[in-house]
Amino acid sequence: MIQILLVIIYLAFISLGLPDSLLGASWPSMYLEFGVPVSYAGIISMIIAFGTILSSLQSDRLTRKLGTSKVTAISVAMTAFALFGFSISHSFIMLCLWAIPYGLGAGSVDASLNNYVALHYESRHMSWLHCMWGVGATLGPYIMGYALAGGHSWNSGYLYIAILQIVLTAILIFSIPLWKERKSVAKNVSDNEKTTHKALSLKEIIKIAGAKEVMLCFFCYCALEQTTSLWASSYLTIYKGVATDTAASFASVFFIGITVGRALSGFITMKLNDLQMIRLGQGIIAIGIIVMFLPMNENVSLVGLILIGLGCAPIYPCIIHSTPAHFGEDKSQAIIGVQMASAYVGTCLMPPIFGLIAGNINVGLFPVYLLLILVIMIVMSELLTKKTALSK
């Protein structure tokens, strides 16, 4: 049964990734249809991110009340509902409205499911499970590119993803009894058993040593990842002169890099610890950004996107997996909740800010923007290691 549950969790991570890259892949077609500025993608992104911030901050309370299994099933169902709404929308305002349940469905499941895996599985499993997120994030742009190349509208791409989400929701609902059988390795506590640890307030969490640093680190990581996801297609189309449907498919290369990187990271974590994996990833991202600076053809930019994706691969799962070790298992759900909220603040603020830069200055500043975010992330990560036992 434990093996079956692991397969279910793999499917849940795929469901998390499927919609994450759709907006960036489809936006070059969407903004022309709606007659809005290219920077308006940031508005939709902000609405989705704001919803995830709210639900992430409530993840500790929701998980204690419902259990990880029910939180996951309900959240995926909300996402499927929102994606179906996108598929029938024909105005920018309607997209903004459907973005509300889209965001609310993402936050709680992200925090709850990540904490569950951090408590119950080793680092290699965290990497491989997040590899499954990459599978979903890679499939998303391919499905959208397939719809566009076949002469269909972007609405069809969203409809295809919505159908897949509905199927995954049904699987998660039927799997709920399996989660009750899985016991915590350290505490022997099942998914739905109540704990004696009280929920921490945001003020209490921030006072914990290293909490502010890990929150800022997550802010920067997701800002970099989401900015790349949202604006890579537009950068390639507008600045590099790549065709719209080709750029949509190229955007998925970034997620291919993440997916392949996380598959490899699962093996590398058997030799390197979480801190070493994070530093390795940051170094590879830096190389990828430098490649993007080179004034060469689209194939070179493609290599840069792959390297950025490869570098992103170990960072998110290794930070998450090290959270119980950094802060203690009794605080891990609360810490991961605020980490997710901080990540989505980065998702909410930083891509729209680049949208303003792209619209008012030059979309060619895309790699410069990514480099600045990376530098801040590295500084915060190193400060975190100095305040915790994992700095050795």
Q: What is the mean pLDDT of residues 165-188?
A: 71
Whole-structure pTM value: 0.73
Instruction: Give the pLDDT confidence score for residue 386 in this predicted structure.
Output: 84
In the 8-state DSSP scheme, what is residue 190? B
Residues of the chain with pLDDT > 70, as a percent, come to: 92
Domain 2-177+204-391 architecture: Up-down Bundle (1.20)
The CA-based dihedral angle spanning residues 115, 119, 125, 126, taken in that order and rounded to the nearest 10 degrees: 30
Euclidean distance between CA atoms 104 and 109, whole angstroms: 9
Confidence of residue 41 (pLDDT cuts 50, 70, 90): confident
Residue 183 has pLDDT above 60, yes or no: no
Euclidean distance between CA atoms 340 and 49, whole angstroms: 10
Residue 184 has pLDDT above 60, yes or no: no
Contact indicator for 210, 326 with CB cutoff of 8 Å? yes
Contact indicator for 191, 68 with CB cutoff of 8 Å? yes
Euclidean distance between CA atoms 87 and 153, whole angstroms: 9
Instruction: Give the pLDDT confidence score for residue 96 in this predicted structure.
Output: 92
Report which of residues 150 and 283 the model is more confident about: 283
The CA-based dihedral angle spanning residues 267, 271, 276, 279, taken in that order and rounded to the nearest 10 degrees: -40
Lowest mean pLDDT among 136-140, 199-203, 286-290, 369-373: 199-203
Euclidean distance between CA atoms 332 and 184, whole angstroms: 13
Q: What is the pLDDT of residues 126-143, one digit of tens each?
A: 888 888 877 787 788 888
Contact indicator for 179, 5 with CB cutoff of 8 Å? yes
Helices (H), the chain: 2-17, 22-34, 41-57, 59-66, 68-87, 92-120, 123-149, 154-181, 202-206, 211-234, 244-268, 274-293, 298-321, 323-327, 329-360, 366-386
